[in-house]
Amino acid sequence: MDGEKLRILAGLDGRDPHEVRDVLVEALADAGTSMPSRSDAVKIAYVDMARCCLAGEASERWLVWLIEHLVIEEDDPEEMLAPPLGALYGLHDEWGAGWGRTESQLIAAVRAACTEQVALDEA
């Protein structure tokens, strides 16, 4: 049976991230689980992002943009810079700028990092 906090979380529209954070830990406890560590959360998110890219559900360029955005927005991005996906940070500048690798080379680099990220999770 769902707990009260889990029902509250399910009813939030997500527009206010603070509202979600305020309820999330208790809602996870209602579901019989706990909040993952920051390091584990980054790994889980990166594996999911890598799988989406490899499945064609997200483009390589979008993935690089998202990593760039996540790192820039984070106060302490050290864990987000961990390879293989974190090592793609900075690639956004190279994409479409007319210098560096070609688009096909950049796509290949992103796909290789995605493949490595998924393999690390499955090991």
Q: What is the pLDDT along the chain (123 residues), one digit of tens a residue?
A: 577 888 888 888 878 778 888 888 888 888 888 888 888 889 999 999 999 999 999 999 999 999 999 999 888 889 899 999 999 999 988 887 878 899 999 999 999 999 999 999 998
Burial (Cβ within 10 Å: 0-12, 13-18, ≥19) of residue 85? buried
Inter-CA distances, 98 with 65, 92, 101, 105, Å = 17, 12, 9, 13
Residue ranges per structural domain of the chain: 1-35, 38-122
Determine the Cα–Cα distance for residues 12 and 9; give it in Å rounded to an integer.
Answer: 5
